[in-house]
Structure 1
Amino acid sequence: MDAQPTTPPAAPIRVFVVEDQTKILKNQLRLLEGHQEIEIIGTALSGEAALEEVPKVMPDVLLLDLGLPRMSGIDVTRAVKASYPKVEILIFTIFDEEDKVLEAVKAGASGYLLKGAPVDKIIEAIKEVRAGGTVIQPNLARRLLRHFRVDPDSAPLPTEPRPSPAPVEPVAAEPAAPEAPTAEAADEPQLKPLSDREREILQLIAKGVSNSEAARLLNLSKATIRTHLEHIYRKLEVTNRVEAVTEGIRKGLISV
């Protein structure tokens, strides 16, 4: 009997680490080395050095210290996402930097970890952001939501619809298939309600639950969770979790 073909192992996630404290950097590398899922492809001791090296190696995930000297982690996040939007950024922070973490998330970071997190949490977070998820722990998630509720300019509601084009001459009435809208209909704002499952997932991410945790809680695959999130983003006309939760609160779809 012929041997069954084996599935080749997944390529490791290519990680670049930015940390200005040499001792902390060495500790981080020691924790991450030896894990087959992760490949450390470079390090930098400053934001300026990171911006020089990132385009040379193009990491999957940038593990970035928030409290860098001179060029801050927020500035690095903004610059990297502007030039290399596919690079996911995971912030390393300390307890008293919530406001700065908020700015980093708004600048494009996919989430944050507290310094001193156990290695299994770091590996899980790297996998999560590489898969398109977001890592926001519950204590900061609540602060993020409070910020957006009191700062309407940070997540504005959709603008008023643009003036409709001149009406076309009516034709014979023929029901249009909702699954295949015309190009003209696609240009018009369509407010589709969230399904019960989508509202359930939106409520979970408002509590800071990761894609992996949501999948376990709802007995679904991570791919299914990601698909639901894509539908939520499209329906709410947003691009990330923070904006989705903000719109969900504004529209009364979820509670916090």
Structure 2
Amino acid sequence: MWHVLIVEDDPETVDFFALSVGKSSQLALAGCANNVAQAKAFLSDPSNRVDVLLTDLGLPDGSGLDVIRFARQQHPECEALVISMFGDDDNVLASIEAGALGYIHKDATPDDIAHTITEMKLGASPISPMIARKVLRRYLHAVQPPVAEATRKCTPDAQKPADDNTPSLSPREQGVLDLVARGFSYAEIARLQGVSVHTVQTHIKNLYAKLSVHSKNEAVFEAGRLGLLNSAER
């Protein structure tokens, strides 16, 4: 059973999250905090077990980013899921850099938060499609060459990766990579590909090895840099 700390200042949202967590046999409500100070106090208490941090970013006395960083210091195994109204690129990327494994915009909050949390604990990185698109666009913008350079390199071989060491992906691995880049969870990818979640995890593991990365975000970044993402994902 995983213990969940909810950090949110809106009472109705807290009740909604707590009710969802309470309905799952795999989750237990560790506690609730409505600001940064309360959250840090709870996380500092060695008697409190926290496996999952469910937090908003806009809190009355600061940012949920501080809570994420503090949680990782106090509870290294704790995984953070952000659910926030802030959907701009800076906040999204700052949350991921702080250690969040998932980011869901409040306008797209899933009905079953407990299911989203358990998927994350089983290896998924839940991200709203809108948020995934922002992350991908930001990463691709960072690695794509200027227009002039791209035009100059527009030769018959321009569509081929310039690096001869670019890894070769199987059709199934390519399909999984494209869906990961679009923000789908492992369970969603398994359903779309008609395979088990275990099979998806195996493909992900192989992708990590081929791309020499250790996370989904790194995989998307490296795949974009190497030109391995289908044009539809750009």
**Alignment TM class, shorter chain as reference:** 0.7 to 0.9
Is contact 1:58-1:87 (8 Å) kept?
A: no
Which of the numbers 61, 68, 79 marks the counterpart of 1:77?
68
Structure-2 residue corresponding to 1:230: 205
Larger radius of gyration: 1
Q: CA shift at 1:64, angstroms?
A: 0.8
1:212 paired to 2:187: yes
Distance 2:49 2:203 in 1: 29
Which of the numbers 48, 53, 66 marks the counterpart of 2:42?
53
- Of all paired residues, the percent bearing the same amino acid is 36
1:201 paired to 2:176: yes
Which of the numbers 16, 19, 22 marks the counterpart of 1:33?
22
Q: CA shift at 1:143, angstroms?
A: 1.1
> Residue 169 of structure 2: SS of its match in structure 1?
coil
1:17 paired to 2:6: yes
Which of the numbers 114, 128, 131 marks the counterpart of 1:140?
131
Structure 1 stretches of at least 4 aligned residues deviating more than 4 Å after TM superposition: 95-98
Is contact 1:93-1:101 (8 Å) kept?
A: no
Which of the numbers 89, 93, 111 marks the counterpart of 1:119?
111
Structure-1 residue corresponding to 2:159: none
Q: Which runs of 5+ in 1 are unaligned?
A: 1-11, 153-189
Structure-2 residue corresponding to 1:249: 224
Distance 1:242 1:230 in 2: 14
Structure-1 residue corresponding to 2:150: none
> Residue 132 of structure 2: SS of its match in structure 1?
helix
Identify, as 1 or 2, the structure richer in helix. Answer: 2
TM-score norm. by structure 1 comes to 0.72
How many residues get paired? Answer: 207
- Could you say what the CA RMSD is over the residues aligned between the two structures, in angstroms? 2.2
TM-score norm. by structure 2 comes to 0.78
